[in-house]
């Protein structure tokens, strides 16, 4: 893991689509932490996974040092580190020529990561990783705002 800002993220949905939430924990160089969360009444799990990363990166703003982002979403990690380059090259179409889902969020994430030194780490969800569990709790708490 690089030194610098560490971002942990998770997204969740009750039904897919359904009410969704996202959570992020940002740990600064000095050890201070910030929790962020939000949600939508009708969304998908993948959109919430992307929103968690996007909102955390927006919060960190113009940080120039290294950033480590830890997610339990293979969709997010592989999407931004592997798939996005072909999507761009193919005019935002998948290998099967279908439009890329969540294009709006992928484009925003690409813009937010451009020029930054980011290490992407994946962890298996729901296995006791402390920050991932915190993010999951934040995301699930947001879902409750739309369920009742």
Counts for the chain of helices (H) and strands (E), in that order: 5, 5
Rounded-to-integer distance, Cα 127 and Cα 70, Å: 14
Handedness of CA 54, 91, 12, 129 (dihedral sign): negative
Q: Say which residue the tokens 């380059």 belong to.
A: 85
Rounded-to-integer distance, Cα 22 and Cα 1, Å: 23
Rounded-to-integer distance, Cα 73 and Cα 68, Å: 15
Catalytic residues: 10-11, 49, 72, 126, 136
């Amino acid at each position: 893991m690089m030194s610098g800002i560490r971002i942990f993220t998770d997204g969740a949905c009750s039904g897919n689509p359904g009410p969704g939430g996202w959570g992020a924990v940002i740990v600064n160089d000095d050890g201070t932490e910030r929790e962020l969360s939000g949600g939508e009444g009708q969304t998908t799990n993948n959109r919430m996974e992307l929103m968690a990363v996007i909102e955390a990166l927006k919060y960190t703003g113009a940080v120039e040092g290294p950033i480590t982002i830890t997610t339990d979403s293979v969709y997010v990690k592989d999407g931004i580190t592997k798939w996005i380059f072909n999507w761009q090259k193919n005019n935002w179409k998948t290998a099967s020529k279908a439009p890329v889902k969540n294009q709006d969020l992928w484009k925003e994430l690409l813009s937010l990561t451009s020029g930054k030194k980011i290490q992407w780490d994946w962890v298996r969800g729901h296995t006791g990783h402390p920050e991932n569990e915190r993010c999951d709790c934040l995301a699930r708490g947001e879902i409750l705002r739309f369920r009742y």
